[in-house]
Amino acid sequence: MRFFADQDVYAATVRFLRDSGHDVTTAYEAGLSRSDDRDLLREAERLGRMFVTRDRDFGSLVFVEELGKGMRLIPANRR
């Protein structure tokens, strides 16, 4: 799978995904580490990648504003 990781995604998570055979590009690697989530979501869509973030407002960007697709990582202690 092809992922585009937000700047708040832990390096260990990115490494785990890559070690599992996934193609991961980070916002930092793309030169977008200070970009707004809306812009990052649009870039992921443009690149044909699934956006991965830890941001709580992600649901409103995807479901209310319909800006793209992706997933939000939820810490294990918050399930």
Q: What is the pLDDT of residues 48-72, one digit of tens each?
A: 998 888 876 665 555 445 555 555 4
Q: What is the DSSP letter of 36?
A: -
Query: Residue 41's pLDDT band (boundaries 50, 70, 90)?
Result: confident
CA angle 37, 11, 75 (to 5 degrees): 70
Global pTM value:
0.75
Range of the domain at 22: 2-78
CA angle 26, 21, 46 (to 5 degrees): 40
How many domains does the chain fold into?
A: 1
Query: Residue 15's pLDDT band (boundaries 50, 70, 90)?
Result: very high
